[in-house]
């Protein structure tokens, strides 16, 4: 495992961090045995950074219980996030934070983040509630070690947020398909110049740069026949690690095999180590990827649940697949995502445009508008015809 130094704290952080959000299990109840297996294997492999959040259902409690059972709390740097949008007064900071410490069965958080800042106004709102004093008190008491924010807003706003407080670190979405998206490369450089540790999330764009890479893009990588980079995930992660400004990248690993695979890659995670030939291959992959990236949905699920039962990320995945693979592939995925074979299909045409989903999308997708695109691609013609053939006319 390669380690990089957090310039603010001096902590040696594994180049690969464990994002706990995608632990398998029932909704709101991550499977404890699987969590134990993933966390213990991650630590065995040298990973020393774990990331969770108040808003990941059941996740903080699961991580806390696992660390306690495994006796590993002292071997990892633990990160979690304040749901600042739910804080209406200064007392709420304590209320959420105390609950997080209880859930995580710890007396301090190593890296504490304002969760999902998308505009300077969000930070200004909690400043007005007194968060700066609150942070200072928690740091003085040793309950928060490093303070930062995760970000999903525009590049310009990122600089404003960056300079609005004396942050220790930030967490940005970054991957080879997102150099000019959100904070992007300009944001990465600006944060590093200010001496912040920079943690990267979505290095593989929710798997879209890994197993879900369109065939034509994948063919470019296969054709490169690189002995070290054998999978699309290896290419994507290595591209992020190639940036010396990146302190650590988070991967939401869901089984121990993934931990082993990614840890092996992290063994060679040296900055500035990719060759011109490798970088040229990435540029060619990107050109192919962008042809099918019609909706930039990462599948995070923050927009769910939809009151009409629409599987929003599933529908967008089907839509993109219809360009990346074939229209029939997309339609088949859309059938599955919409539960078309059940008595109550959840078709995109059920959308009442209430807008509840779009408010939560970190990618700022106009969800109801883009679902209209999905409807036009798969409905009413082809899908409705098939539904009628099956006698499922309730879809309208
Ligand atoms: S706008 Fe449509 S998709 Fe979004 S939550 Fe409302 S009904 Fe569901
Ligand atoms: S539409 Fe937005 S919030 Fe919903 S899964 Fe996709 S990226 Fe996440």
Domain extent, residue 21, equals: 3-289
State whether 114 and 60 are in the same domain: yes
In the structure encoding, which two tokens stand for residue 389, read together?
Answer: 């053939």
State whether 232 and 352 are in the same domain: no
pLDDT of residue 340: 75
Question: Closest residue (by CA) to atom 1 of ligand 1?
Answer: 353
State whether 11 and 91 are in the same domain: yes
> What is the C-alpha to C-alpha distance for residues 243 and 245, in angstroms, rounded to an integer?
5
The verdict on residue 278 lying in a domain is: yes
Reported as a single tens digit per residue, the pLDDT across 34-89 is 999 999 999 999 999 999 999 999 999 999 999 999 999 999 999 999 999 999 99
Count of domains for the chain: 2
The verdict on residue 297 lying in a domain is: no
DSSP secondary structure code for residue 108 in this structure? -
DSSP E strands: which ranges in 88-193?
Answer: 109-117, 144-151, 169-173
The CATH number of whichever domain residue 67 belongs to comes to 3.20.20.100
Ligand number nearest to the C-alpha of 338: 1
Q: How far is the CA of 280 from the centre of ligand 2 (A)?
A: 30
35 C-beta closer than 6 A to ligand 1: no
Share the mean pLDDT of the chain.
92
State whether 118 and 189 are in the same domain: yes
State whether 387 and 247 are in the same domain: no
Q: How far is the CA of 302 from the centre of ligand 2 (A)?
A: 6
Residue 396 has pLDDT above 70, yes or no: no
Residue 206 has pLDDT above 90, yes or no: no
pLDDT-based confidence at residue 129 (cuts at 50, 70, 90): very high
The verdict on residue 306 lying in a domain is: no
Question: Closest residue (by CA) to atom 3 of ligand 1?
Answer: 351
Q: Which of 289, 323, 347 is the last residue of a domain?
A: 289
Reported as a single tens digit per residue, the pLDDT across 241-270 is 999 999 999 999 999 999 999 999 999 989
pLDDT-based confidence at residue 395 (cuts at 50, 70, 90): very low
> What is the C-alpha to C-alpha distance for residues 194 and 197, in angstroms, rounded to an integer?
9
Arithmetic mean of pLDDT, 369-384: 83
DSSP secondary structure code for residue 329 in this structure? H
Arithmetic mean of pLDDT, 201-218: 90
In the structure, which protein residues have their CB atom closer than 6 angstroms to any atom of ligand 2? 297-303, 312-313, 316, 360-361, 363, 365, 367
Question: Closest residue (by CA) to atom 7 of ligand 1?
Answer: 351
> What is the C-alpha to C-alpha distance for residues 116 and 82, in angstroms, rounded to an integer?
9
Percent of the chain with pLDDT over 90: 76
- Which of 152, 177, 316 is the pocket-test mutation for ligand 2 (most atoms within 8 Å of CB)? 316
State whether 238 and 330 are in the same domain: no
347 C-beta closer than 6 A to ligand 1: no
Question: Closest residue (by CA) to atom 8 of ligand 1?
Answer: 306
Question: Closest residue (by CA) to atom 4 of ligand 2?
Answer: 303
What are phi and psi for residue 151, nearest 5 degrees?
-135, 135
Q: How far is the CA of 354 from the centre of ligand 1 (A)?
A: 5
Q: Which of 289, 320, 349 is the last residue of a domain?
A: 289
Pair 6, 13: CB distance under 8 Å: yes
State whether 248 and 384 are in the same domain: no
Q: How far is the CA of 130 from the centre of ligand 2 (A)?
A: 31
State whether 201 and 277 are in the same domain: yes
State whether 210 and 317 are in the same domain: no
Return the biggest CA–CA distance within the chain. Answer: 68
Residue 393 has pLDDT above 60, yes or no: no
**Following DSSP, what letter does each residue of 188-217 receive, concatenated?**
HHHHHHTT-EEEEE-TTTTTTTTTT--HHH
Question: Closest residue (by CA) to atom 4 of ligand 1?
Answer: 357
Can you tell me whether residue 4 is helix, strand or coil? strand
State whether 239 and 110 are in the same domain: yes
Question: Closest residue (by CA) to atom 7 of ligand 2?
Answer: 297
Reported as a single tens digit per residue, the pLDDT across 98-125 is 999 999 999 999 999 999 998 899 999 9
Strands 77-82, 109-117: pairing is parallel
State whether 269 and 320 are in the same domain: no
Neighbour-count burial for 133-161, b at 16+ CB within 10 Å, e otherwise: ebbeebeeeebbbbbbbbbbbbeebbbeb
């Amino acid at each position: 495992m390669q380690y990089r130094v957090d310039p603010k704290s001096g902590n040696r952080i594994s180049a690969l961090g464990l994002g706990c959000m995608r632990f398998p299990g029932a909704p709101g109840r991550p499977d404890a045995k699987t969590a134990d297996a993933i966390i213990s294997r991650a630590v065995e492999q040298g990973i020393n950074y774990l990331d969770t959040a108040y808003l990941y259902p059941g996740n903080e409690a699961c991580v806390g219980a696992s660390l306690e059972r495994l006796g590993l709390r002292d071997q990892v740097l633990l990160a979690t996030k304040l749901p600042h949008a739910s804080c209406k007064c200064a007392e709420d900071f304590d209320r959420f934070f105390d609950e997080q410490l209880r859930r995580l069965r710890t007396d301090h958080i190593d890296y504490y983040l304002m969760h999902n800042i998308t505009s300077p106004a969000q930070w200004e709102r909690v400043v007005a509630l007194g968060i700066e004093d609150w942070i200072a008190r928690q740091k003085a008491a040793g309950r928060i070690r490093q303070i930062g924010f995760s970000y999903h807003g525009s590049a310009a706003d990122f600089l404003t947020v960056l300079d609005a407080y004396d942050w220790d670190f930030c967490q940005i979405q970054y991957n080879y398909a997102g150099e000019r998206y959100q904070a992007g490369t300009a944001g990465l450089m600006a944060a590093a110049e200010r001496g912040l540790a920079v943690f990267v999330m979505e290095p593989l764009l929710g798997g879209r740069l890994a197993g879900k890479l369109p065939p034509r893009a994948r063919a470019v990588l296969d054709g490169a026949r690189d002995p070290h980079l054998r999978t699309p995930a290896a290419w994507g992660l290595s591209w992020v690690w190639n940036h010396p400004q990146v302190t650590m990248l988070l991967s939401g690993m869901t089984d121990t095999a993934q931990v082993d695979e990614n840890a092996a890659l992290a063994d060679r995670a040296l900055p500035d180590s990719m060759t011109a030939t490798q970088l040229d291959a990435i540029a060619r992959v990107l050109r192919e990827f962008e042809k099918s990236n019609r909706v930039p949905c990462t599948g995070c699920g923050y927009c769910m649940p939809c009151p009409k039962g629409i599987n929003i990320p599933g529908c967008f995945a089907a839509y993109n697949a219809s360009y990346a693979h074939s229209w029939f592939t997309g339609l088949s995925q859309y059938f599955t995502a919409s539960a078309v074979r059940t008595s109550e299909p959840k078709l995109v045409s059920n959308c009442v445009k209430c807008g509840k989903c779009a408010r939560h999308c970190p990618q700022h997708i106009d969800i109801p508008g883009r679902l209209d695109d999905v409807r036009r691609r798969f409905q009413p013609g082809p899908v409705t015809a098939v539904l009628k053939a099956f006698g499922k006319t309730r879809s309208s």
